[in-house]
Amino acid sequence: MTSTSQKTLYYVHDPMCSWCWAFKPTWQKVRAEIDNKVNYRYLLGGLAPDNNVPMGLETQNYIQANWEKIQQVVPGTEFNFDFWRFCEPRRSTYIACRAVICARKQQPRVEEHFIEAIQRAYYLEAKNPSNKNTLIGIAEKLGLGTKQFADDLTSPKVQKILDREITLSQSLGMTSFPSLKLLSGGVMSTIEIDYNNAQSIIAQIMT
Protein backbone atom coordinates (compact mmCIF):
# COMPACT_ATOMS: atom_id res chain seq x y z
CA MET A 1 0.00 0.00 0.00
CA THR A 2 1.32 3.45 -0.93
CA SER A 3 2.04 5.80 1.95
CA THR A 4 0.05 9.03 1.80
CA SER A 5 3.32 10.94 2.17
CA GLN A 6 4.34 9.56 -1.24
CA LYS A 7 1.27 11.05 -2.88
CA THR A 8 1.17 14.38 -4.67
CA LEU A 9 -2.09 16.06 -5.61
CA TYR A 10 -2.01 18.55 -8.49
CA TYR A 11 -4.71 21.22 -8.51
CA VAL A 12 -4.96 23.03 -11.84
CA HIS A 13 -6.85 26.30 -11.74
CA ASP A 14 -7.13 29.83 -13.04
CA PRO A 15 -7.80 32.68 -10.58
CA MET A 16 -10.47 34.04 -12.96
CA CYS A 17 -12.18 30.68 -13.52
CA SER A 18 -15.77 30.89 -12.25
CA TRP A 19 -16.01 27.13 -11.66
CA CYS A 20 -12.85 27.34 -9.52
CA TRP A 21 -14.59 30.03 -7.45
CA ALA A 22 -17.59 27.73 -7.02
CA PHE A 23 -15.27 24.87 -6.02
CA LYS A 24 -13.44 26.94 -3.41
CA PRO A 25 -15.49 25.96 -0.30
CA THR A 26 -15.26 22.26 -1.16
CA TRP A 27 -11.55 22.54 -1.99
CA GLN A 28 -10.91 24.16 1.39
CA LYS A 29 -12.53 21.17 3.12
CA VAL A 30 -10.46 18.76 1.03
CA ARG A 31 -7.26 20.65 1.72
CA ALA A 32 -7.94 20.76 5.48
CA GLU A 33 -8.36 16.99 5.51
CA ILE A 34 -5.29 16.11 3.44
CA ASP A 35 -2.98 18.76 4.90
CA ASN A 36 0.19 17.14 6.33
CA LYS A 37 -0.92 13.81 4.82
CA VAL A 38 -0.65 14.39 1.09
CA ASN A 39 1.59 16.81 -0.77
CA TYR A 40 -0.37 19.17 -2.97
CA ARG A 41 0.69 21.62 -5.62
CA TYR A 42 -1.12 24.42 -7.40
CA LEU A 43 -0.68 24.67 -11.16
CA LEU A 44 -1.90 27.64 -13.18
CA GLY A 45 -3.71 26.43 -16.28
CA GLY A 46 -4.21 29.79 -17.98
CA LEU A 47 -7.68 30.31 -19.42
CA ALA A 48 -7.07 33.21 -21.79
CA PRO A 49 -3.88 34.90 -23.10
CA ASP A 50 -3.23 38.63 -22.80
CA ASN A 51 -5.74 40.66 -24.76
CA ASN A 52 -6.56 44.37 -24.66
CA VAL A 53 -9.65 44.11 -26.87
CA PRO A 54 -12.95 44.67 -25.03
CA MET A 55 -14.96 41.48 -24.70
CA GLY A 56 -17.74 41.07 -27.25
CA LEU A 57 -21.36 41.13 -26.13
CA GLU A 58 -21.89 37.49 -27.14
CA THR A 59 -19.03 36.34 -24.90
CA GLN A 60 -20.24 38.56 -22.06
CA ASN A 61 -23.70 37.01 -22.29
CA TYR A 62 -22.20 33.52 -22.38
CA ILE A 63 -20.17 34.08 -19.20
CA GLN A 64 -23.10 35.68 -17.38
CA ALA A 65 -25.25 32.68 -18.29
CA ASN A 66 -22.48 30.44 -16.98
CA TRP A 67 -22.52 32.30 -13.65
CA GLU A 68 -26.28 31.70 -13.43
CA LYS A 69 -25.78 28.01 -14.22
CA ILE A 70 -23.12 27.71 -11.52
CA GLN A 71 -25.48 29.20 -8.95
CA GLN A 72 -27.95 26.44 -9.78
CA VAL A 73 -25.41 23.60 -9.80
CA VAL A 74 -23.45 24.80 -6.75
CA PRO A 75 -25.95 26.44 -4.38
CA GLY A 76 -24.53 29.27 -2.31
CA THR A 77 -22.05 30.48 -4.92
CA GLU A 78 -22.17 34.27 -5.05
CA PHE A 79 -21.60 36.52 -8.05
CA ASN A 80 -21.90 40.29 -8.28
CA PHE A 81 -23.41 40.92 -11.71
CA ASP A 82 -22.59 44.63 -11.37
CA PHE A 83 -19.26 43.63 -12.89
CA TRP A 84 -20.95 43.54 -16.30
CA ARG A 85 -22.48 46.99 -15.78
CA PHE A 86 -19.51 48.94 -14.47
CA CYS A 87 -16.41 47.21 -15.85
CA GLU A 88 -15.02 46.85 -19.34
CA PRO A 89 -14.31 43.11 -19.45
CA ARG A 90 -11.59 41.57 -21.57
CA ARG A 91 -11.04 37.90 -22.30
CA SER A 92 -7.64 37.96 -20.61
CA THR A 93 -6.63 35.95 -17.55
CA TYR A 94 -2.88 35.47 -18.01
CA ILE A 95 -2.13 38.72 -16.16
CA ALA A 96 -4.02 37.42 -13.10
CA CYS A 97 -2.10 34.14 -13.38
CA ARG A 98 1.19 36.04 -13.48
CA ALA A 99 0.06 38.03 -10.45
CA VAL A 100 -0.27 34.80 -8.47
CA ILE A 101 3.30 33.87 -9.46
CA CYS A 102 4.51 37.35 -8.47
CA ALA A 103 2.91 36.95 -5.04
CA ARG A 104 4.40 33.46 -4.66
CA LYS A 105 7.80 34.83 -5.66
CA GLN A 106 7.74 37.43 -2.88
CA GLN A 107 6.05 35.38 -0.16
CA PRO A 108 5.10 31.76 -0.93
CA ARG A 109 2.67 31.63 1.98
CA VAL A 110 0.66 34.48 0.40
CA GLU A 111 -0.16 32.54 -2.79
CA GLU A 112 -3.48 31.07 -1.62
CA HIS A 113 -4.54 34.39 -0.06
CA PHE A 114 -3.76 36.15 -3.32
CA ILE A 115 -5.84 33.69 -5.34
CA GLU A 116 -8.79 34.23 -3.02
CA ALA A 117 -8.34 38.02 -3.14
CA ILE A 118 -8.49 37.97 -6.95
CA GLN A 119 -11.64 35.86 -6.82
CA ARG A 120 -13.30 38.13 -4.28
CA ALA A 121 -12.38 41.24 -6.27
CA TYR A 122 -13.82 39.75 -9.45
CA TYR A 123 -16.89 37.89 -8.25
CA LEU A 124 -17.97 39.89 -5.20
CA GLU A 125 -16.56 43.41 -5.57
CA ALA A 126 -17.11 43.83 -9.33
CA LYS A 127 -13.47 44.74 -9.95
CA ASN A 128 -11.57 43.65 -13.04
CA PRO A 129 -8.50 41.43 -12.37
CA SER A 130 -7.52 41.87 -16.02
CA ASN A 131 -6.49 45.39 -15.00
CA LYS A 132 -3.00 45.89 -13.62
CA ASN A 133 -4.19 48.43 -11.04
CA THR A 134 -6.64 45.94 -9.52
CA LEU A 135 -3.84 43.43 -9.01
CA ILE A 136 -1.41 45.99 -7.60
CA GLY A 137 -4.12 47.07 -5.16
CA ILE A 138 -4.49 43.48 -3.97
CA ALA A 139 -0.71 43.17 -3.58
CA GLU A 140 -0.66 46.29 -1.44
CA LYS A 141 -3.48 45.03 0.79
CA LEU A 142 -1.61 41.77 1.34
CA GLY A 143 1.58 43.57 2.32
CA LEU A 144 3.62 42.82 -0.79
CA GLY A 145 6.17 45.21 -2.24
CA THR A 146 4.16 46.94 -4.95
CA LYS A 147 7.10 48.18 -7.03
CA GLN A 148 8.64 44.73 -7.25
CA PHE A 149 5.19 43.25 -7.87
CA ALA A 150 4.47 45.67 -10.73
CA ASP A 151 7.88 45.01 -12.29
CA ASP A 152 7.47 41.24 -11.99
CA LEU A 153 3.99 41.37 -13.52
CA THR A 154 5.48 42.18 -16.93
CA SER A 155 8.69 40.21 -16.47
CA PRO A 156 9.57 37.64 -19.18
CA LYS A 157 10.87 35.38 -16.39
CA VAL A 158 7.45 35.31 -14.74
CA GLN A 159 5.80 34.62 -18.09
CA LYS A 160 8.18 31.68 -18.60
CA ILE A 161 7.13 30.26 -15.23
CA LEU A 162 3.49 30.54 -16.28
CA ASP A 163 4.26 28.92 -19.63
CA ARG A 164 5.93 26.00 -17.84
CA GLU A 165 2.95 25.51 -15.53
CA ILE A 166 0.52 25.61 -18.45
CA THR A 167 2.65 23.08 -20.36
CA LEU A 168 2.85 20.78 -17.34
CA SER A 169 -0.89 20.92 -16.72
CA GLN A 170 -1.55 20.13 -20.38
CA SER A 171 0.93 17.26 -20.32
CA LEU A 172 -1.04 15.82 -17.40
CA GLY A 173 -4.20 16.00 -19.50
CA MET A 174 -5.66 18.79 -17.39
CA THR A 175 -7.26 21.17 -19.87
CA SER A 176 -10.37 22.18 -17.91
CA PHE A 177 -10.50 23.99 -14.59
CA PRO A 178 -10.61 23.07 -11.84
CA SER A 179 -8.92 19.70 -12.31
CA LEU A 180 -7.29 17.32 -9.84
CA LYS A 181 -4.66 14.68 -10.60
CA LEU A 182 -3.10 12.38 -8.04
CA LEU A 183 0.41 10.97 -8.40
CA SER A 184 0.70 7.86 -6.24
CA GLY A 185 3.34 5.17 -6.52
CA GLY A 186 4.43 6.53 -9.87
CA VAL A 187 0.91 6.28 -11.28
CA MET A 188 -1.10 9.36 -12.25
CA SER A 189 -4.86 9.19 -11.86
CA THR A 190 -7.74 11.61 -12.30
CA ILE A 191 -9.69 12.65 -9.22
CA GLU A 192 -13.33 13.21 -10.08
CA ILE A 193 -14.58 16.54 -8.77
CA ASP A 194 -17.89 16.81 -6.93
CA TYR A 195 -18.54 20.49 -6.30
CA ASN A 196 -20.92 19.75 -3.44
CA ASN A 197 -19.27 16.76 -1.74
CA ALA A 198 -15.79 17.06 -0.30
CA GLN A 199 -15.89 13.58 1.20
CA SER A 200 -16.18 11.88 -2.19
CA ILE A 201 -13.00 13.67 -3.28
CA ILE A 202 -11.17 12.92 -0.04
CA ALA A 203 -12.06 9.23 -0.35
CA GLN A 204 -10.49 9.07 -3.83
CA ILE A 205 -7.31 10.73 -2.60
CA MET A 206 -6.85 8.75 0.59
CA THR A 207 -7.70 5.30 -0.78
Give 126-177 pLDDT, tens digit per residue: 999 999 999 999 999 999 999 999 999 999 999 999 999 999 999 999 889 9
Quote the CA–CA distance of 10 and 87 in Å, as a whole number. Answer: 33
User: Could you tell me which residues come within 8 angstroms of residue 202 by beta carbon, excluding any fewer than 6 positions away?
Assistant: 29, 30, 33, 34
Mean pLDDT of the chain: 96
Residue 178's Cβ-count burial label (10 Å; 0-12, 13-18, 19+) is buried
User: Could you tell me which residues come within 8 angstroms of residue 152 by beta carbon, excluding any fewer than 6 positions away?
Assistant: 98, 101, 102, 105, 158
Q: Check residue 1 and give its pLDDT.
A: 35
First-residue to last-residue Cα distance in the chain: 9
Q: Check residue 50 and give its pLDDT.
A: 96
Q: Check residue 175 and give its pLDDT.
A: 85
pLDDT band of 4, cuts 50, 70, 90: low
**In this structure, which topology does domain 4-206 adopt according to CATH?**
Glutaredoxin (3.40.30)
This prediction has a pTM of 0.95
